[in-house]
Amino acid sequence: MAEAFVNHLAAVRGLDVVGESAGTMGGKSLNPVAVEAMAELGISMEGQTPKLLTQEMADRAERIITMGCGVDAEACPARFLVTEDWGLDDPAGQGIDAVRVIRDQIKERVEAMLDEMS
């Protein structure tokens, strides 16, 4: 959701910013409830796939943001990279109402980040 928000909102604002989402543990597919929640706002996640965080990704990033390292503290990049943790709940396994709350929290934080960058 964060990657989709960054790329969509940056384009709307005319900012030369690209978001790339990756995790420390690979999933096989996107969370369908997250995809549905984003579609409700008219933002497609088509073409996105789960990706593993690589050193190359970290090297080219201006900012590395974790969504909530409490999900799997052992795998949290904040243990070995300078990051900003947004402390959000993991939408995995949650219903649409909970995912909407998480989606809206992500959107708020992305908007604030883009405000800082513009």
Dump the DSSP string for the chain: -HHHHHHHHHHHHT--------BSS--SS--HHHHHHHHTTT---TT----B--HHHHHH-S--EES-GGG-GGG-GGGTS--EE--PPP-TT--HHHHHHHHHHHHHHHHHHHHHH-
| CATH, range 2-117 | 3.40.50.2300
Q: What is the pLDDT along the chain (118 residues), one digit of tens a residue?
A: 999 999 999 999 999 999 999 887 777 899 999 999 999 999 999 999 999 888 899 889 988 888 875 555 555 555 555 578 898 999 999 999 999 999 999 999 999 999 998 8
Give residue limits of the domains in the chain: 2-117
